[in-house]
């Protein structure tokens, strides 16, 4: 599964990353979430591979979107539309 993650910068902005590569940096949170979801949706439609968008949570990452090959959400997971 491919993971696109949001990471907070020391300056307070956010960056959108794929694996360890920063794709976009110094964004506000709302636009960063929207862009990450668009990237994930495009990647899923292009490749068909499972992909999810996540950001740091207090204990575990918070999943913001999930596109999976089987398209069957588990309990507590919502598929992104």
| Domain count across the chain | 1
Q: Is residue 73 part of a domain?
A: no
CA–CA separation, 59 vs 47, rounded Å? 31
Q: Is residue 80 part of a domain?
A: no
Q: Is residue 36 part of a domain?
A: yes
Quote the domain boundaries for residue 10.
2-67
pTM value is 0.80
Q: Is residue 76 part of a domain?
A: no
Q: Is residue 28 part of a domain?
A: yes
CA–CA separation, 62 vs 81, rounded Å? 17
Q: Is residue 74 part of a domain?
A: no
Q: Could you report the per-residue pLDDT of 15-63, keeping only the tens digit for each? A: 999 988 999 999 999 999 999 999 999 999 999 999 999 999 999 999 9
H-helix or E-strand spanning residue 43: helix 29-47
């Amino acid at each position: 599964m491919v993971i696109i993650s949001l990471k907070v910068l020391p300056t307070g902005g956010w960056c959108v990353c794929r694996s360890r590569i920063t794709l976009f940096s110094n964004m506000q949170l709302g636009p960063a979430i929207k862009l990450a979801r668009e990237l994930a949706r495009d990647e899923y439609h292009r490749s068909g591979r499972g992909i999810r968008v996540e950001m740091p949570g207090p204990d575990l990452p918070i999943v913001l979107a999930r596109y999976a090959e089987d398209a069957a959400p588990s309990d507590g997971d919502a598929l992104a539309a």
